[in-house]
A and B are shown apart, each in its own frame.
Chain A
Amino acid sequence: MSETAPAQGFFTEEMTISVGPQHPSTHGVLRFVIKTDGEVISEAIPDVGYLHRSIEKIGEKVTYHGYVPYTDRADYLAAMFANQAFCMAAEKLAGTEVSRRGEFCRIIACELNRLASHLISVGTFGQDIGAMTPFVHALRERESINNLMEEICGARLTYNYIRIGGVGYDILPDTLTRIVEFLDHFGPIVEEFNRLLSGNKIFIQRLAGVAVVSKEDALSYNLVGPNLRGSGIKWDIRRDIPYSIYPELDFEVPVGTAQVGTLGDSYDRFWVRIREMQESVKILYQCLKMLPKGPAIAKVPKKFKPPVGECYARVEAPRGDMGFYVVSDGSEYPYRVRIRTGSFTAMSIIDKLSKGIMVADLIALIGSLDVDAPEIDR
């Protein structure tokens, strides 16, 4: 209680609320300090750093091979992409060729991981809006993917599968048939999910026209991945700066189409993810058909010493452009590792978008941007 005399007459004041870091829908440990007038937010300041684990600094202390498991932790929902980005950077530095079968195994694992990550994203998004069942159904499907991942690389979450020069283990024929079985089953499940959630009137009403990101804002705030494409900008690293075997594959880049409201609203970002899942299924079918024979990993020296230099490798992760900037001083250890992730830049736009929306919309906004705490802080 303040000791000043109470103000005379009728007066209102803004309420300052701390959302998180233990709030149920902040997807990990995010924190926002919001100022509200009743339910209407006038300011939401993101507070990052609760999940900082010095992954970049660790990179300077371990060898190139030894750093791969650490990259898993950069974004535990999409560990495969961080693996791949780092390995691509290391390969670029040393000029290592990746075995062709290894490239295919990488893309199969990555696209499966993209499915898993998007399932979590759209499922928890449904839960943020209040629909509980789609979340559990999404996790059920993700569980099948985890089982497949376990068969592929022995781990369910932090894979450490992609190594410099290829992949750790070849994908066995049995596993390949099980992946096909899963894909056959998964296609209709996406449609069921759409019937249950995406087409729901309440769900659409909650999201249409909420937290609209214009094309200009999306570019100036450096949004990437589905958040950028939700605003109608066709930019996908897989298509525009092709890497690995993506040039050989045939797939669409879904962009926001103002499906139910304004271009770039929360629903568009959600809908882009749903359609990306369908595209991933298409990519997986193609990869499985084209999978060549051969070794899964190229010959790479145990003592991996790239020549002096620096390079930047980027992949299209589920949360957008993920890049590893690696500087080598010619020793066994990287001189510097820098990770660029999509969620971190997505956080910066929340303050701008949250002015004048309601508390419930802020939750929808965070969910639609699919920000992921470990990826923000590294």
Chain B
Amino acid sequence: MQALLDQMMKDGAFAGVPREVVYAIAMVLSAVVVLSVFVAPLAGVTSWLERRVWARMQSRVGPNRVGPQGILQWLADGIKNIMKEDIIPTAADQKLFPLAPYIVFMGFLCAFVVIPFGADLIVADLNIGILYLLAVTSLVVVGILMAGWSSNNKWSLLGGMRSAAQIVSYEIPAGLSVLTIVFLAGTLSMQGIIKAQGWGPWDWFMFHNPFTFCAFFLFFTAALAEGNRTPFDIPEAESELVAGYVTEYSGMRFLFFFFAEWGNLYVIGAVATTLFMGGWQVPPVTDNPVLLAILQFVTFFLKAYFWVFVAMWIRATLPRVRVDQLMSLCWKYMVPLSFICLLGTIGFMFISDQGQRIVGALTLGFAIATVINFFRRVGFQFRAAKPELYWRPHI
């Protein structure tokens, strides 16, 4: 990008304009392009996917009217919400209330800067990549607290307070699990972490040793909690707090919160993929750079969406925990466990390379056995499934 601009300036385009201004304009433009072409559809399609997946799990049909299989539903919803009246309650804080959705939105959007979609497909490979990501995603809590406080509604306030307590607490196990991987990779850069892994599961950090395997689940659970997903969706628990911090919001501002939530879901999947599942690493099948980039992008996308799907699955299955249970889960179990994982991994790094290989292989074997056992246990459900009921729910 920079090289392209330099070349153009050398050729005499933008004559008389200072170099820095050209860079700044180019950055803003590319941000707009990325936002409108990639991030918005991503969050939108995720929302559609969630509704469809959820509907199937609940023997319903889900949105299937707008576009093929309803894939454009998110556009219709967006248009509807933009055209709605923008209501700011008179009792609400007139400055903070309109501002809150944008802060939440910004928190999730900034995360896309460091997400590596391919070897060259990354906005900025910061050398503090993962630290930056943890920092900007914490911005969401500021927005949510702001929304809860400024709405001047008791349900919103309760939701905002719950959210603040929850997100701040779950940052710790998430951060510690991330640290486990940072130690192994020896770098904070997202690309560096991916390059420290390989394309096969045996080279992924997830199966590097039992502690990282454990750390992955700690990270995923904590990330779900940070993203306000069921079973940790207590800030907006609609059966308890009406709608939590979004109670007073409507129209596009309301949508921004959910935009951020679904976008965040993808960020969770992407970070889990980057840290634990080898990111965009693909087997060396082709030398064609374009083909390779596409292959990497698709690999990364599928891996990330697998975890998005798992999050949807969990949301459709589990009830919601109570707020005190949520806190005790974090402080009594997850924080100590993630410390154990961290220390265990550090100790593990003293073992010889060969020893590490063997333990890694055993971990992978254990993981495969777990998956097989899981399908064996739910297998009777498939055998007992009544096709007319489960696969064609709309009859």
Contacts and interface: CB of A to CB of B under 8 A. Distances in A.
B239 interface: yes
Given A200-B318, A202-B318, A137 B58 contact: yes
A17 B158 CA distance: 11
Contacts of A192: 381
Chain A, interface size category, equals 20 to 34
B321 interface: yes
Contacts of B239: 24-25, 127-130, 363
Given A23-B242, A24-B239, A130-B230, A358 B324 contact: yes
Given A24-B238, A363-B239, A363-B240, A126 B319 contact: yes
Contacts of B242: 23-24
B316 A133 contact: yes
A140 B55 CA distance: 12
Interface residues of B, number: 36
Contact of A202 (B60, B154, B321): B321
A173 interface: no
B59 interface: yes
A57 interface: no
A311 interface: no
Contacts of B237: 130, 360
A203 interface: yes
A132 B58 contact: yes
A39 B323 contact: yes
Nearest to A127: B239
Nearest to B155: A17
A188 interface: yes
A127 B238 CA distance: 10
B315 to A, nearest CB: 8
A133 B158 contact: no
Contacts of B393: 140
A127 B155 CA distance: 19
A299 interface: no
Interface string A109-139: 0000000000000000011111111001100
Contacts of A38: 161
Contacts of A196: 317
Q: Is the interface of A mostly helix, strand, loop or mixed?
A: helix
A304 B318 CA distance: 54
Given A24-B238, A360-B240, A363-B240, A133 B317 contact: yes
B320 A133 contact: no
A140 B230 contact: no
B319 A129 contact: yes
Contacts of B234: 360
Given A188-B384, A363-B240, A206 B319 contact: yes
B154 A132 contact: no
B318 A205 contact: no
A364 to B, nearest CB: 9
B392 interface: no
A136 B318 contact: no
A260 interface: no
Contacts of A39: 158, 162, 323
Contacts of A131: 317-320
A133 B239 CA distance: 14
A72 interface: no
Interface string B212-243: 00000000000000000011011001111110
Interface of A: 15, 17, 23-25, 38-39, 126-133, 136-137, 140, 185, 188, 192, 196-197, 200, 202-203, 205-206, 358-361, 363
Given A17-B154, A137-B59, 17 more contacts: A15-B154, A23-B242, A24-B238, A39-B162, A128-B239, A130-B233, A131-B319, A136-B59, A202-B231, A202-B318, A206-B319, A206-B321, A206-B325, A358-B323, A359-B241, A360-B237, A360-B240
9 contacts: A127-B239, A130-B237, A131-B317, A133-B57, A133-B317, A136-B60, A206-B320, A358-B322, A360-B323
